[in-house]
A and B are shown apart, each in its own frame.
Chain A
Amino acid sequence: MTLKKGTLLVVGFLWSLCIIPGAIHAQDILKGSEVHGSTQLDAVYYLQDNKMGITDSTLDGKLMRMNGFTEVNYSLGNFTAGLRFEAYLPALTGYDVQNNGVGVPYFYANYKNDFIDITAGNFYEQFGNGMMLRTYQEWTLGYDNSIRGLRVKVMPYKGITLKGVYGVQRYYWEPYKDYNRGIVKGFDADFYLNDMFTSLSDAKVKLTLGGSFVSDYQQGKTKEIADNGKIYLLKMPENVSNYGGRFNLNIGGFNWFTEYAHKINDPNALNNYIYKDGNGLFTNFSYSKKGLGISLMSKWIDNMSYKSDRTIANNMVNINYLPSITKEHTYALASMYPYATQPDGEVGISGTVTIHFPKNSTLGGKTGLSIAANFSQVNGINKTALNDTTMVNQLGTLGYNTSFYSVGSEVYYQDANIEVTKKFGKNWKGIFTYLYQTYNKDIIEGHANDYGTIYSQIGIADISWNITKKNNLRFEFQGLWTKQDKGNWAAALVEYTVAPAWFLSVQDQWNYGNSDSGQQLHYYLLSAGYTNHTTRVALSWGRQREGIICVGGVCRYVPAANGVTLTVTSSF
């Protein structure tokens, strides 16, 4: 990766902004200027491991790998500028090799007052819930779809926010030139009615309305697509728009949010180049008062993948965001089979109840008791063939017929779980979780009918013991039972922390139920770390099992690994 001259100039300019005022600041000439930033380094020395099938060649001979970034932001009054330097030398295993490189993929300058907010350069933006547009960055996933261009926000009247964005998205290190990917344009409006009308400012009913229009221009009126050994010449819509509206209604403890989006024909690599329009609906209803919280969600997605390059089939250059409505789990075995939204079509529901019985109540006992229960299920949508001679989802056609909110017969994912949190006396606390998960591996991971569906039961006990005020021992015992896939697992963890600085942990995940006795492996991991204010240094040694990590709606495959990992994070 080499920086273009223009980029370098901009970077040099921004960077001098970061350095010079810092120096001047010491003399207090520019009162009010501030420099802040953050940094992270993940470096791994990989070890070969015959049992796990990790050899010098699977590691491509590159045993030492590193991902790192530093971001610096400078502000003076209404003005802010910043940049992020990134280095993948080379990228850790499991990250796309297209990450490899060194450079400054993110820089911006911003001016803001009560009326206007202008950003030139890279920016992260979200319209409504994100079904039409969301750009964001997730370091642990190696995900960044920031737009480089111009963003203007205007607040013309109290309670009204208008936004316009125009630019191109990041695709690893590939520079934008000659329309090699689409140009994204978007407009968004939010109306906070209670702020707009003074007569409503004290009303119990709070209402917010919003709407967005997004359009992507990708050059090329026709495109050749190969399918089953034949080449088809397809007409392409150069402009693809995605638009919709939303509302949020709040009355005391009740809250109801709904967003609907409609996308016009958008043949792309993910939908097999069909011309059907797409649409999506997300709705959430919640009620809560002290000690009780209830949430009900539902989502309908039909052909909603939306990227600024229609030929890309991986996670990059997403314009919109389609998160899963299933619960995100973080315990090792509970997150072994995570769900991710299927943009081709899915319909789902999710419900969560959280109850807290306070101290000195009948059920709460002397120390209180918390219970959280959650159920979610996602099915495919009902798709039927357009006519007798066309297959469902056939390339170059209108794809299929479906009716709004028609539930398909195939279950993609189901999760029923309950979590109980209880204190025992002053120094002991336990969190006990039970989960029953149904995971359609073929659909979720995109296999052609090899694995079927995995049904698993998971039990977890997480016990914390305050030995003294600042010394704590925490134990996790986990079990996963299934007759499918790799069979049963057991896991245990012991973690010792000394507030506020030190931690030491030992853990093991054991695949004792694997039908291949040679693969009944122990995935042991030893970690230690030190925290000082915002700087954290952690060192670990051991095995990482193969799996999928998901943050929000995006997942990344993590290959099995064995090695020594150094992680340093800091901010200032």
Chain B
Amino acid sequence: MRKIQWLLVLSLLSSVTFAQTNIFKYKKLPDVTIKDIKGLAFKSSDISNDGKPIIISFWATWCKPCIRELTTMADVYDEWVKETGVKLYAVSVDDARSANLVAPLVNGKGWDYTVLLDPNSDFKRAMNVGPIPHTFLLNGNGEVVWQHTSFAEGDELELIELVRKLNKGEEIK
């Protein structure tokens, strides 16, 4: 029995490495029903931006690095939108404890992002997100082309550089 278990582990790990080299990117967003900021049902497959790049950032009101990331980007978001047409979806994974604090916090901070609520982490699970913040970049066709976990000041510069590349039609590796 033990041997079978270890075989299973090894195969799983090999499948992981296999996947990593070949299927790192999402061709299509998973279809999960979450909520918008008014409490209405929102299908994750409806995330769109008229053929322009999209950023999806998973965050929570209690996550300090997430707040730092969204605050830093809020300062330059206007300019980003004007220059590149990019749209940022901030998906809060706050559960029942703090989901009701999301709208007051987002408005209170004056953020202009499109905010979605994922109170039981259904979308987070479907996107295989572990620790937050976790940021996805989608090209104009809605394909995930880049992901990053954690935040350090300056990460936002790499992100907008990638958005510019997408707009120029360059491929992201």
Interface of A with B (CB < 8 Å)? 2-3, 8, 11, 15, 18-19, 22-23, 25-26, 32, 34-40, 70-73, 75, 80, 85, 87, 102-104, 112, 124-126, 129-130, 134, 136, 139, 159, 161, 190, 192, 194-195, 206, 208, 248, 250, 253, 255, 257, 282, 284, 286-295, 297, 321, 323-325, 328-331, 352-356, 358, 370, 372, 421, 464, 466, 469-472, 497-500, 503, 531, 533-536, 552-553, 569-572
Residues 124-166 (chain B) with a chain A CB within 8 angstroms:
125-131, 134, 146-150, 152-155, 157-158
Q: Which residues of B contact A159 (CB under 8 A)?
A: 41
- A282 CA / B99 CA spacing, docked (Å): 13
CB distance from A114 to the nearest CB of B (A): 9
Contact A255 B39 (CB under 8 A): yes
Contact B108 A372 (CB under 8 A): yes
Contact A328 B5 (CB under 8 A): no
Contact A35 B154 (CB under 8 A): no
Known: A15-B8, A34-B27, A531-B150. A294 touches B104 (CB 8 A): yes
Known: A36-B128, A571-B149. A288 touches B103 (CB 8 A): yes
- A429 CA / B63 CA spacing, docked (Å): 17
- List 18 A–B pairs whose Cβ atoms lie within 8 Å, in order of A's numbering: A8-B4, A19-B15, A36-B26, A37-B16, A70-B16, A72-B16, A124-B120, A129-B96, A130-B120, A134-B96, A192-B40, A206-B38, A255-B39, A293-B105, A464-B68, A498-B152, A499-B158, A531-B148
B38 to A, closest residue via Cβ = A250
Contact B12 A72 (CB under 8 A): yes
Q: Is B76 an interface residue (CB 8 A)?
A: no
Contact A571 B71 (CB under 8 A): no
- A3 CA / B104 CA spacing, docked (Å): 48
A12 to B, closest residue via Cβ = B8
Contact B153 A497 (CB under 8 A): yes
Q: Which residues of A contact B27 (CB under 8 A)?
A: 32, 34
Which of B41, B97, B119, B149 sits near A192, CB closer than 8 Å? Answer: B41
Known: A22-B18, A102-B5. A500 touches B96 (CB 8 A): no
Contact B30 A255 (CB under 8 A): no
Which of A19, A208, A464, A571 sits near B39, CB closer than 8 Å? Answer: A208
Contact B122 A124 (CB under 8 A): yes
Contact B19 A11 (CB under 8 A): no
Which of A8, A34, A257, A499 sits near B154, CB closer than 8 Å? Answer: A499
A20 to B, closest residue via Cβ = B15
Contact B40 A208 (CB under 8 A): yes
The 9 A-B residue pairs with the shortest CB-CB distance in the complex, in nearest-first order? A354-B108, A293-B104, A499-B154, A293-B108, A323-B97, A288-B107, A470-B154, A497-B152, A126-B120
- A257 CA / B38 CA spacing, docked (Å): 11
Between B16, B147, B155, the greatest number of chain A beta carbons within 10 A of the residue's beta carbon is seen for B16
Contact A195 B13 (CB under 8 A): no
Contact A499 B157 (CB under 8 A): yes
Which of A26, A129, A472 sits near B152, CB closer than 8 Å? Answer: A472
B77-104: contact bitstring with A at CB < 8 Å (1 yes, 0 no)? 0000000000000000001111011011
Residues 33-82 (chain B) with a chain A CB within 8 angstroms:
33, 38-41, 61-64, 68, 71
Which of B1, B18, B155 sits near A499, CB closer than 8 Å? Answer: B155
Q: Which residues of A contact B148 (CB under 8 A)?
A: 500, 531, 533-534
Contact B154 A22 (CB under 8 A): no
- A403 CA / B131 CA spacing, docked (Å): 43
Known: A130-B96, A192-B40, A536-B149. A569 touches B154 (CB 8 A): no
- A434 CA / B155 CA spacing, docked (Å): 29
- A40 CA / B134 CA spacing, docked (Å): 15
CB distance from B129 to the nearest CB of A (A): 7
Known: A257-B100, A469-B154. A37 touches B31 (CB 8 A): no
CB distance from B15 to the nearest CB of A (A): 5
Q: Which residues of B contact A533 (CB under 8 A)?
A: 146-149
Known: A8-B4, A72-B12, A499-B154. A35 touches B19 (CB 8 A): yes
Contact A295 B101 (CB under 8 A): yes
CB distance from A36 to the nearest CB of B (A): 5
- A536 CA / B38 CA spacing, docked (Å): 35
